Chains A and B, each alone.
Chain A
Amino acid sequence: EIVLTQSPATLSLSPGERATLSCRASQSVSSDLAWYQQRPGQPPRLLIYDASDRATGIPARFSGSGSETDFTLTISRLEPEDFAVYYCQQRANWLTFGGGTRVE
């Protein structure tokens, strides 16, 4: 099973600041990685797939990068609605999720 480790566990920032979230895979997943956002009381929402492609309707301030084992989700300027938990997910070898990063 591929383990995805997200860091930091919590990121404390202010609106307007830049957020950089990390996801590290225990073995290569090529570019088969997605990012999701989960707000309180809501299901996860797909933000990025194939490491860097934005899903439909996702604002341009969200961007993804990386390949193989190291991936980054960047939120260029935090809006109030961006304070949430973010998860990465790989599909290279079955399907696993990371433990999440809370942006507060």
Chain B
Amino acid sequence: EVQLLESGGGLEQPGGSLRLSCAVSGFTFSNYAMAWVRQSPGRGLEWVSGVSAGGGSTYYADSVKGRFTISRDNARNTLYLQMNSLRAEDTAVYYCVKDRFLYGTLISYFDYWGQGTRVTVSS
């Protein structure tokens, strides 16, 4: 059974940092691109960032470029999102998601989603 378990969310002040983690199981993690997608009442569903299966290629939405860093540890079956210089508009539920296709591109569809971790940026 495929499982994606996010952690690391919480309340942070504007300008602060958080690191999200996603522990995965049930599939060969190193064979699939992964991504983070966030959801908020004001912005709806928004793709944030993606990383290739090997970790060598990364993409970011313009709204987070230069502030967020995606990475993965294939030995630990874990995906990360380092979020710096947080803003109020980063407030959302953050989902860890798996690419639908084996060795797929970073711009894809997502066939498994975690339950999400809530990030709130407020003073």
- Residues of chain A touching chain B, judged by Cβ–Cβ distance below 8 Å, are 34, 42-46, 49, 55-56, 87, 89, 91, 94-97, 99-100
Q: Mark the stretch among B42-50, B69-77, B78-86 that contacts chain A.
A: B42-50
A46 & B111 in contact (Cβ 8 Å cutoff): yes
B45 & A91 in contact (Cβ 8 Å cutoff): no
A89 & B109 in contact (Cβ 8 Å cutoff): yes
Between B45, B95, B111, the greatest number of chain A beta carbons within 10 A of the residue's beta carbon is seen for B45
- Residues of chain B touching chain A, judged by Cβ–Cβ distance below 8 Å, are 44-47, 61, 95, 100, 107-111, 113-116
Q: Which residues on A sit within 8 Å (CB–CB) of B46?
A: 97
Q: Which of A34, A94, A96, A100 contacts B109 (CB 8 A)?
A: A34
Q: Which of B61, B107, B113, B116 contacts A91 (CB 8 A)?
A: B107
A91 & B114 in contact (Cβ 8 Å cutoff): no
CA distance A34 to B109 in the complex (A): 7
A87 & B108 in contact (Cβ 8 Å cutoff): no
Q: Which residues on B sit within 8 Å (CB–CB) of A34?
A: 109
Q: Which residues on B sit within 8 Å (CB–CB) of A46?
A: 100, 109-111
Taking the nearest CB of chain A, how far is it from the CB of B102, in angstroms? 13
CA distance A97 to B95 in the complex (A): 14
Taking the nearest CB of chain A, how far is it from the CB of B114, in angstroms? 7
Q: Which of B47, B107, B108, B113 contacts A43 (CB 8 A)?
A: B113
* With A44-B45, A49-B100, A100-B44: A55-B111 Cβ-Cβ less than 8 Å: yes
Minimum CB distance partner of B59 in chain A: A94
Taking the nearest CB of chain A, how far is it from the CB of B91, in angstroms? 18
Taking the nearest CB of chain A, how far is it from the CB of B111, in angstroms? 5
CA distance A58 to B85 in the complex (A): 40
Minimum CB distance partner of B101 in chain A: A49
Taking the nearest CB of chain B, how far is it from the CB of A91, in angstroms? 5
Q: Which residues on B sit within 8 Å (CB–CB) of A94?
A: 47, 61, 107
A44 & B113 in contact (Cβ 8 Å cutoff): yes
CA distance A34 to B100 in the complex (A): 11
